[in-house]
A and B are shown apart, each in its own frame.
Chain A
């Protein structure tokens, strides 16, 4: 059971049972809907910006514990960060997911998201873990370009 425990760490099950920021706001600067077509997981995610800062990430979604927990963790982690920081953290998370178990992830940067490191050994689940992060990337770019106009 060792490897499976590595995938389903307590932090993940906790976020799955008690997802953070899971309630869509009505005044988002941008809102996107992303799906994982291979399994039907869905997330609707909104972003509010305050200048260059991520003021709020809020979302709704259905899916497996990995996709839901990852979105929850991401929304906690990136809120309050600058767009530049958020992008850098997202990039580091993406590298972790693509590492096939090769890296453990830096807890100083990724915080709770390092709990998802076990996902990288399960190729079929990487998309689950990235669903919310890709939605954030999309929404934040849209929100930012709107702000620049």
Chain B
């Protein structure tokens, strides 16, 4: 089957609308959130229209149907990342997933393998999104553990030259992003995972920018925990995934406590249900889980490898075009080696906010600012960047519209 982005666009109702007085929507902000195909919108609304009931409770048909849909979505997620069903925990967002694991580790008492104390180490990288940085800063502050990090090279790659000095015998947690939301860099996991496991540390992967765009197989990567959000993978907002190896989820203490996550309760204490329920207190975001299931099935029907190939081709095209624009500087890898479809750049004296505003007037949606990665911006020596991020529904026409918009912005602000 040949990949047909124009046919795919027809699946997404939003592309029927226009922007700023009739302009064609050129959506280059999928790194922030993706658009939704009709099947996802339908799955979410059908849940409310036809099947709405609280899952795992109630002795009635609707509760049965709701539970089937919710657990079916879990099965879909598990298949998508090659995990076991009971290893897949639904959260409200990837941010919650990362906070869940950070707080759960913080809850571990002495004797638990996750227990952290003064002198233990937590390792992150300089290219983390705030969502995979601040939870670890906070955990370090609460436990007395030491936070350290891999630096980023001027080319936008992780500097692993001192890997044995960064990940040491004291390291208990290594948390990093699979693909930088700013630079587009895809990080070399195997060396990091190998070193982390050598010293007995767990590897926590922020896969927000990878799971929607390429085949992510948790067994093949041999990581320990993973987080991603539904809304960046053509799914609804309000649903995220936290995945962990079964034996680790068994030992990890809960984060949120309450209904659904218990086995027995007395007036003085409680015991926990096994994972994934142990980590899903309260009535979950059921309609959103249904939507996520539909989203991942949609991506699977197209083929995640096909999507990845399409994005690589588009990114290659856009990088080449951008590099021809005088005064434009790519912030991140300039070649396609281990690189995804997020391209950040600066453009002469035109501030990213002003460039973004001009592009918006042309119907082109980009992200501007520090992209929730302030330390990385400082490291790369930029105050802010403009970011174009590509997905399955983008075309060469979109990329060329961006280039034309950038050149027109130069004329506009140069007046």
Does the CB pair B357–A39 fall under 8 Å? Answer: no
Does the CB pair A66–B353 fall under 8 Å? Answer: yes
Looking at the complex, which one of A4, A8, A38, A66 makes contact with B369 (CB distance below 8 Å)? A38
User: What 1/0 flags go to A2-21 for Cβ under 8 Å of B?
Assistant: 01100110000100000000
Interface centre among A13, A64, A66 (most CB of B within 10 A): A64
Chain A, residue nearest B350 (CB): A65
Instruction: Using A4-B361, A39-B368, A40-B374 as known contacts, say yes or no to A63 and B415 having CB atoms under 8 A apart.
Output: no
A58 CA to B354 CA, complexed, in Å: 24
Does the CB pair B384–A13 fall under 8 Å? Answer: no
A40 CA to B182 CA, complexed, in Å: 15
- B341 beta carbon closer than 8 Å to chain A: no
Interface of B is mostly: helix
- B6 beta carbon closer than 8 Å to chain A: no
Does the CB pair A125–B357 fall under 8 Å? Answer: yes
- A62 beta carbon closer than 8 Å to chain B: yes
Count of chain B residues near A, Cβ 8 A:
18
Chain A, residue nearest B414 (CB): A13
A39 CA to B385 CA, complexed, in Å: 10
Looking at the complex, which one of B20, B370, B415 makes contact with A13 (CB distance below 8 Å)? B415
Instruction: Using A39-B368, A40-B370, A40-B377 as known contacts, say yes or no to A64 and B354 having CB atoms under 8 A apart.
Output: yes
- B351 beta carbon closer than 8 Å to chain A: yes
Nearest CB of chain B from residue A88's CB, rounded to whole Å: 29
- B225 beta carbon closer than 8 Å to chain A: no
- Give every chain A residue within 8 A of B377 (Cβ-Cβ): 40
Looking at the complex, which one of A4, A42, A63 makes contact with B351 (CB distance below 8 Å)? A63
Chain B, residue nearest A67 (CB): B353
Does the CB pair B351–A64 fall under 8 Å? Answer: yes
Looking at the complex, which one of B353, B358, B361, B415 makes contact with A39 (CB distance below 8 Å)? B353
A63 CA to B383 CA, complexed, in Å: 8
- Give every chain B residue within 8 A of A122 (Cβ-Cβ): 357
- B3 beta carbon closer than 8 Å to chain A: no
A122 CA to B354 CA, complexed, in Å: 12
17 A–B contacts, CB within 8 A, in A order: A4-B357, A4-B358, A4-B412, A7-B357, A8-B354, A8-B357, A39-B352, A39-B368, A40-B369, A41-B353, A62-B383, A63-B353, A64-B352, A64-B353, A64-B354, A65-B413, A66-B353
Q: 7 other contacts beyond A40-B374, A125-B353, with CB at 8 A cut-off?
A: A8-B413, A13-B415, A39-B369, A40-B383, A63-B383, A125-B357, A128-B353
